[in-house]
Amino acid sequence: MPDYKPNQFVRAFAVLALVAALIAVVAVVVASDGGSDGGDDGGAQVGSNGPSKRGRVAEERGVWIVRSGDTLARISDETGVDVDTLIQLNPDLDPHALLEGQRIALR
């Protein structure tokens, strides 16, 4: 059996690939944080102090227009309307398949 000599270039490349994969995972987790990193989320500030600006406007109009990444929980947080109430007001709504541009009644 011939002597095995590990290729140092391949070892270094493997370490760099592992580091790059770790950075990619961290970037995906941070990006999927729902906009709480201070990024542009359409002027909506989710917080425990009541509805966001976008949520107040939607509440005044009585309708929420779904954007990419919206969930019923997030809509509830931003408008102050309970998730159960949203489901009762929108019986044809599939809470697991919200579509961008879909209108959700808030009252």
What mean pLDDT comes out for the span 11-18?
Answer: 90
What mean pLDDT comes out for the span 2-18?
Answer: 83
| Mean pLDDT for the chain overall | 78
User: What domains appear along the chain, each with residue ranges and CATH number?
Assistant: 53-105 (3.10.350.10)
Using pLDDT thresholds of 50, 70 and 90, give the confidence band for residue 1. low
Three-state SS at 65: strand
Output the pLDDT for position 81: 86
Task: Quick: pLDDT tens for 66-106.
Answer: 888 888 898 888 888 888 998 999 888 888 888 888 888 88
Cα distances (angstroms) measured from residue 60 to each of 24, 25, 64, 79, 96: 40, 39, 10, 10, 25
- Residue 106 burial (CB count, 10 A): 21
